[in-house]
Chains A and B, each alone.
Chain A
Amino acid sequence: MPQVKPQWRSLAELAQDAQFLSRAEQEFPGLGVALTAPRDRREALTLMTAALALAGAGLGGCNGAPEGHLIPAVQQPPGVVPGVPDYYSSAHIDGGYAEGTVIKHFMGRPIKVEGNPFHPASLGATSPMAQAELLNFYDPRRSWGVTRAKLPRSRPALEQALADQRARLASTRGAGFVILTGASTSPTLAAQLEALRKSYPLIRWLHWEPIERENVKNAFALAYGARLAFLPLIQNADVILAIDSDLLSAAPGHLSFARDFAARRNPTRAKMNRLYAIEATPSLTGAAADERFIAGPRETHKILLALASALLGAPPAEGPPWLDRIVADLKANRGRCFIHLGPDHSPEAHALVLAMNEALGGRGAVYALVDEPTHFSSDDALSLATLVADMRAGRVNSLLIIDSNPVYAAPGALDFAEALSQVEFSLCLSATPSETSEASLWAVPMIHLWEGWSDARAFDGTASVMQPQALPLYQGVGPHDLLGLLLGPDAPKARDLVRQTWKDQLGAADAWTDALAVGVIPGAASSISNRPLSGAAARVRLPEPPKARIVLLFRPDPYLHDGRYADNPWLQELPRPLTRMSWGNPLQISPRRARELSLEHGDVVRIAIDGAHTTTPIIVAPGQSDDCIVALLGFGRRHAGPVGRNVGVDFFKLAGRSCAAPDIQKTGAKEELASAQHHAAIFDEWGVYARNGTLAQFHSDPDFVRRGDEPRPALYDWKPEGPAAWGMSIDLNACIGCGACVVACQAENNIPVVGKAEVLREREMQWLRIDRYYDGPPETPKTSFQPVLCMHCEEAPCEPVCPVGATMHDSEGLNVMVYNRCVGTRFCSNNCPYKVRRFNYFDFSGEERRAIESRNPEVTVRARGVMEKCTFCLQRIAAARIIADRDGEKAATVTTACEAACPTRAFTFGDLAAKGSEVAARRAGPLSYALLANQNTKPRVTYEARILNVDETKETGK
């Protein structure tokens, strides 16, 4: 597929940097340095001894069968069959909103998270964080034991302290008592808080999230005078305008939005929608857009005014030239389009956009308004800032912090820690030791979500009951139990509270068990609101844009969020979609600003704003606005487990200050960044890997993406003859690069994490990676994602070079890896054009601080010195074919871990030989192509090229 310009992975590659080229050429970069480093006699002797000891250990392995024990239960738990997995519904909570999950258990141990197909926020998919919840559950550094002033206390002592608080509450009627929790949609929690207010009328509570969506929520009060939420119906939308939007990556319900969006992205299957994105910093929504425009905060302000003038008849305002085209497209698609604004914009801007959406006539067709499912703070005037002021003024005697970490995540300008020290009684309920539990008087271990009963609502109000998946591992206290203890000494159990909440819907015993089995409470979704727009919404005045030329923007890290997942090694090591960074959060600077400040990738700068400062490395972010510098929050935790402590930089301490321009000074120091952007780089003669084109190109020549990929004869034409021919098709139109598949693969296949030092040596172990490519100039590139896994080539180059036959083909077309044969020559990896093989340089699995119980017992844990790679989830294939053979079914249906987790259904796995198989149909489609087709490897994984719905007839003035 000849295309004029090759794609590029990093600015170094674009500039054809000599250092980059020499590194990319090497199969094992870093190895040369290790081999040529001088080694003294003593070290040589040590190595020889180690080798001898290893040989001895190897011989020891020949000593007959391993000895072991069989330990049956005393009484078999009902329904548990040893060796057969069980599934129980649960939910992952993100900013208070539920995302339905199903937890896979093996003999009572949770081992994997799957999406819940019946839950509207999941539809069977998961986010990376939901997948990684498994490690949080088994985290050996979870809090255990109650402490007061950092000294151990007994449980009765805690109960006594709470009894004292009850007495105080009764005498003061709740004055000076504040409960601080994260955002919550739990009706049971809400009922408990209301019950507390009934007993103690002056008690207050604050639902606070460090990454808040308060602006979005408050806009509805301005525009509709009610607490509503915006529910896009993306499947009906022909045109979407996303402004600084997190529609596909973080907005509540983003998994289902991504599903609906992707359902109309492949022109061979559906009529394409069109997404315009206007944003200051690259995001998943921008990368998914057909056309992406860059606008800094001040320009976005102008754009909103221009849109208001065009759509609402507001006073004329001038926007950028390309905006007219978008406005014309929106107007042409009246009733089939909507505008989505990101959560960082002011409530006024949101109210204006709500009015524009009403004017565009899409209400009921492309979006609906429903009741906001989150519970509100006790009074509207209460915010974190007013709370801190009250704490300082001594108006707060008791502060109960439930599952929140304000000492770390409150804006630095508030200095929450100092205010907390003024509070007489502070209690922090947290699942892991945190900055806040460290600073509170009482620190109480909280149960993990999987260890207790609760409930939560999804973005559309759908409610779920969450059941315990296991007994508490560390004797924690649940939030419901703690609040119960404030009401009386004999607090009802959380389960009874939840049953009480839902007694109307789930009164019958069957209804209760059915709701638990399905994971959704029937008929509990919010009803659609008919409330009319208030006339004032169209006339709100936008707050003035920042005056400074360059603004510091804070964004949550896509995986660590507000730092709550900082202790999760899977999420730390998961490359960020766009920067491909792991284990760090360098400051993102646009290419032009970096040039102006003569900064390069990895230069350490001192950034100061309003008296606060920190030092941080920088990364040059192609496609970022020159008017902003972006800091990712969630890193630099001071009191966390060994995984998250002091990784990256804490930018919360710069937050909450004025909008003055940040002062950036180069320090001269340099830091190596663990960015995987040119790790496992692949090359071919055209330099285009994630193929793409426009809809017009596709219409004029449907086969245009694979012109030039003529089939070539093979030296040895081998045909697998098994009853199935496993294959996969990956739709690049659907992939939004979210990374859920990578974590799902890691969880399913017992893939170890390696840590920052090894990532720098390009030794990360993830079997599946998502390559990110840029087309075009660094200032305004077009971004493409491409998941790459073992291609299971029919003519696999890895196989003939293995001297010990450790990588073989099976009769169903799988390229299998026999770990016990592997002697670690790494010839296979050297010969793999796709760079998908991973080598265990060290005993990564053995060194992982991870409970053995959390591993998938169906997959071998690989030892040191062994090559490994994607197996197409062989364990799932084997389980399916055994069940099919055993029970006499015709064909086994297999879903790989990546396919199951994918929110957009980009992956389709199946039997190419089966009649009517979807994967075979996709493979035969006109957009289907093989990666590095010129290698003639006949891969079993093929891609569907990405088509952009660009309006080429009008594409001018961009």
Chain B
Amino acid sequence: MRSVFEPAMNFWASLTLLMLTLAAVGISFLAWLWPHGDYARRMNWAPAQPVPFSHQHHVSGLGIDCRYCHASVEVSSNAGMPPTFTCMTCHSQIWTNAALLEPVRDSMKDDRPLAWRRVADVPDYVYFNHSIHIAKGVGCSSCHGDVASMALTYKAKSLTMQFCLDCHRDPGPRLRPKDRIYDTRWTRDATTPAPELLLAAYGVPQRNLTDCSICHR
């Protein structure tokens, strides 16, 4: 009787098994790789906001300080988002009829807050405190990137635990002088004091910054 499968089928069967194995390994690898990618981390991508606010225009162009809008960054865990009133301090005088600013005027008129989409976020079990980082010489751009040159705000750093630990393990090189905290274009140069000097001046090394209890509660 003639067999159902010819001898050549052995080859195809083996190949199929091999391909399936490879596919399984490959898919697992991709699944592992996926969260490490910029896409999954939503990096370098500006979500649509109720108003296409440009930090580039307001900070670089007009020279408004970060703290004009993010007013509680030096005193609170929360940097603070500007209430509609802050926007309207200027926009009740200039660009009063701009169609782009319709949502801001509506917010004021209807007493309904603007809902901005989050760009930078850490999970709820991470208790990040802005004020201590500012006080210890960590600049805005260390975590938020060069916001002053962003036409639309996007997430420039991964903000993963690895990212946090990179700095918490060795904070010295990331610290900057007090007067450069809000300068988002700052980079280390020859005039920057040595990391050890900054660490000592800010009094950073007294704690073990990699303790779980520093960030998690």
Chain B binding surface, main DSSP class: loop
Flag whether A393 is at the interface (Cβ < 8 A): no
From known contacts A65-B42, A84-B76, A816-B213, infer whether A73 and B131 are also in contact, taking CB-CB under 8 Å: no
From known contacts A73-B83, A874-B213, infer whether A64 and B132 are also in contact, taking CB-CB under 8 Å: no
- B213, A814: Cβ atoms closer than 8 Å: yes
- A67, B76: Cβ atoms closer than 8 Å: no
- A886, B121: Cβ atoms closer than 8 Å: no
- The one of A67, A723, A886 in contact with B131, judged by C-beta atoms closer than 8 angstroms, is A886
Taking CB atoms, residues of chain A closer than 8 Å to B214 are 810, 878
Nearest CB on A from B172, distance (A):
17
- The one of A74, A858, A875, A877 in contact with B85, judged by C-beta atoms closer than 8 angstroms, is A74
Which residues 172-217 in B have Cβ within 8 Å of A in the complex?
Answer: 203, 206-208, 211-214, 216-217
- A722, B83: Cβ atoms closer than 8 Å: no
A724 — nearest CB in chain B belongs to which residue? Answer: B207
- B40, A64: Cβ atoms closer than 8 Å: yes
- B77, A74: Cβ atoms closer than 8 Å: no
- A81, B213: Cβ atoms closer than 8 Å: no
Chain A binding surface, main DSSP class: loop
A809 — nearest CB in chain B belongs to which residue? Answer: B211
Nearest CB on A from B103, distance (A):
12
- The one of B35, B72, B207 in contact with A81, judged by C-beta atoms closer than 8 angstroms, is B72
Which residues 1-39 in B have Cβ within 8 Å of A in the complex?
Answer: 31, 34-35, 39
Contact with B along A338-367 (1 / 0, CB 8 A): 000000000000000000000000000000
- The one of A64, A871, A878 in contact with B127, judged by C-beta atoms closer than 8 angstroms, is A878
- A71, B121: Cβ atoms closer than 8 Å: no
- The one of A75, A810, A860 in contact with B211, judged by C-beta atoms closer than 8 angstroms, is A810
Determine the interface band of chain A, counting residues with CB < 8 A from chain B. 35 or more
- The one of B34, B80, B203, B216 in contact with A860, judged by C-beta atoms closer than 8 angstroms, is B216
Nearest CB on A from B147, distance (A):
15
- A878, B207: Cβ atoms closer than 8 Å: no
- B208, A72: Cβ atoms closer than 8 Å: no
Flag whether A68 is at the interface (Cβ < 8 A): yes
- B213, A64: Cβ atoms closer than 8 Å: no
Considering the chains assembled together, what is the distance between the CA atoms of A83 and B128 in angstroms?
11
From known contacts A64-B41, A810-B212, infer whether A74 and B108 are also in contact, taking CB-CB under 8 Å: yes
- A75, B125: Cβ atoms closer than 8 Å: no
Nearest CB on A from B111, distance (A):
5
Flag whether B135 is at the interface (Cβ < 8 A): yes
Taking CB atoms, residues of chain A closer than 8 Å to B31 are 59
Nearest CB on B from A859, distance (A):
6
- The one of A67, A68, A71, A811 in contact with B207, judged by C-beta atoms closer than 8 angstroms, is A811
Flag whether B113 is at the interface (Cβ < 8 A): yes
- A70, B75: Cβ atoms closer than 8 Å: no
- A75, B116: Cβ atoms closer than 8 Å: no
- The one of B39, B113, B131, B132 in contact with A71, judged by C-beta atoms closer than 8 angstroms, is B113
- B80, A859: Cβ atoms closer than 8 Å: no
Considering the chains assembled together, what is the distance between the CA atoms of A76 and B116 in angstroms?
16
- The one of B35, B116, B127, B132 in contact with A70, judged by C-beta atoms closer than 8 angstroms, is B116
Taking CB atoms, residues of chain B closer than 8 Å to A70 are 81, 115-118
Taking CB atoms, residues of chain B closer than 8 Å to A881 are 207
Flag whether B141 is at the interface (Cβ < 8 A): no
- B113, A72: Cβ atoms closer than 8 Å: yes
- B125, A820: Cβ atoms closer than 8 Å: yes
- B107, A84: Cβ atoms closer than 8 Å: no
B124 — nearest CB in chain A belongs to which residue? Answer: A860
Considering the chains assembled together, what is the distance between the CA atoms of A76 and B87 in angstroms?
12
Flag whether A954 is at the interface (Cβ < 8 A): no
- A859, B217: Cβ atoms closer than 8 Å: yes
Flag whether B82 is at the interface (Cβ < 8 A): yes
Nearest CB on B from A853, distance (A):
15
Taking CB atoms, residues of chain A closer than 8 Å to B77 are 83-84
- The one of B80, B121, B159 in contact with A68, judged by C-beta atoms closer than 8 angstroms, is B121
Flag whether A56 is at the interface (Cβ < 8 A): no
Nearest CB on A from B216, distance (A):
6
- A81, B80: Cβ atoms closer than 8 Å: yes
- A885, B118: Cβ atoms closer than 8 Å: no
Considering the chains assembled together, what is the distance between the CA atoms of A263 and B15 in angstroms?
84
Taking CB atoms, residues of chain A closer than 8 Å to B125 are 819-820, 860
Nearest CB on A from B89, distance (A):
11
Flag whether B55 is at the interface (Cβ < 8 A): no
Considering the chains assembled together, what is the distance between the CA atoms of A810 and B206 in angstroms?
14
- A722, B207: Cβ atoms closer than 8 Å: yes
- A82, B83: Cβ atoms closer than 8 Å: no
From known contacts A66-B123, A860-B124, infer whether A810 and B72 are also in contact, taking CB-CB under 8 Å: no
Flag whether A157 is at the interface (Cβ < 8 A): no
From known contacts A74-B85, A810-B213, infer whether A882 and B76 are also in contact, taking CB-CB under 8 Å: no
Nearest CB on A from B2, distance (A):
43
Taking CB atoms, residues of chain A closer than 8 Å to B83 are 72-76
Considering the chains assembled together, what is the distance between the CA atoms of A882 and B136 in angstroms?
11
Considering the chains assembled together, what is the distance between the CA atoms of A70 and B81 in angstroms?
7
- B117, A84: Cβ atoms closer than 8 Å: no
- B132, A886: Cβ atoms closer than 8 Å: yes
Contact with B along A868-883 (1 / 0, CB 8 A): 0001001101100110
Flag whether B112 is at the interface (Cβ < 8 A): yes
- B208, A84: Cβ atoms closer than 8 Å: no
- B118, A74: Cβ atoms closer than 8 Å: no
Flag whether A598 is at the interface (Cβ < 8 A): no
Taking CB atoms, residues of chain B closer than 8 Å to A51 are none
Taking CB atoms, residues of chain B closer than 8 Å to A859 are 217
Flag whether A818 is at the interface (Cβ < 8 A): yes
Flag whether B78 is at the interface (Cβ < 8 A): yes
- A81, B75: Cβ atoms closer than 8 Å: yes
From known contacts A81-B72, A820-B125, A882-B131, infer whether A74 and B207 are also in contact, taking CB-CB under 8 Å: no
Considering the chains assembled together, what is the distance between the CA atoms of A646 and B117 in angstroms?
47
Flag whether B142 is at the interface (Cβ < 8 A): no
- A66, B121: Cβ atoms closer than 8 Å: yes
B82 — nearest CB in chain A belongs to which residue? Answer: A72
Nearest CB on A from B160, distance (A):
9
Flag whether A63 is at the interface (Cβ < 8 A): yes
- B217, A82: Cβ atoms closer than 8 Å: no
Considering the chains assembled together, what is the distance between the CA atoms of A209 and B148 in angstroms?
66
Taking CB atoms, residues of chain B closer than 8 Å to A68 are 117-118, 121
- The one of A65, A82, A871, A885 in contact with B135, judged by C-beta atoms closer than 8 angstroms, is A885
- B72, A75: Cβ atoms closer than 8 Å: no
Considering the chains assembled together, what is the distance between the CA atoms of A820 and B136 in angstroms?
28
Flag whether B149 is at the interface (Cβ < 8 A): no
Nearest CB on A from B78, distance (A):
3
Considering the chains assembled together, what is the distance between the CA atoms of A114 and B123 in angstroms?
29
- The one of B107, B127, B129, B208 in contact with A811, judged by C-beta atoms closer than 8 angstroms, is B208
- A69, B135: Cβ atoms closer than 8 Å: no
- B212, A816: Cβ atoms closer than 8 Å: yes
From known contacts A81-B72, A83-B76, A816-B212, infer whether A74 and B115 are also in contact, taking CB-CB under 8 Å: no
Taking CB atoms, residues of chain A closer than 8 Å to B42 are 64-65
- A811, B211: Cβ atoms closer than 8 Å: yes
Flag whether A808 is at the interface (Cβ < 8 A): yes
Nearest CB on A from B12, distance (A):
32
Taking CB atoms, residues of chain A closer than 8 Å to B212 are 808, 810, 816, 818
Flag whether B54 is at the interface (Cβ < 8 A): no
Taking CB atoms, residues of chain A closer than 8 Å to B211 are 722, 810-812, 816
Q: Please list the 4 inter-chain residue pairs (A to B) with the smallest Cβ-Cβ separation, ordered nearest first.
A: A83-B78, A83-B76, A72-B81, A810-B211
User: Could you give 23 example pairs across A and B, Cβ below 8 Å?
Assistant: A64-B40, A64-B41, A65-B41, A68-B118, A71-B81, A71-B113, A71-B116, A72-B114, A72-B116, A74-B107, A75-B83, A83-B78, A722-B207, A810-B211, A811-B211, A814-B213, A858-B127, A860-B217, A874-B217, A878-B214, A882-B131, A885-B135, A885-B136
Residues of A participating in the B interface, judged by any CB pair closer than 8 Å? 59, 62-76, 81-84, 721-723, 808, 810-812, 814, 816, 818-820, 858-860, 871, 874-875, 877-878, 881-882, 885-888
> What would 15 more interface pairs be, CB under 8 Å, given A70-B117, A81-B72, A860-B125?
A59-B31, A62-B35, A64-B39, A65-B159, A66-B123, A71-B114, A74-B83, A82-B81, A810-B211, A858-B127, A874-B217, A878-B213, A878-B217, A882-B129, A885-B132
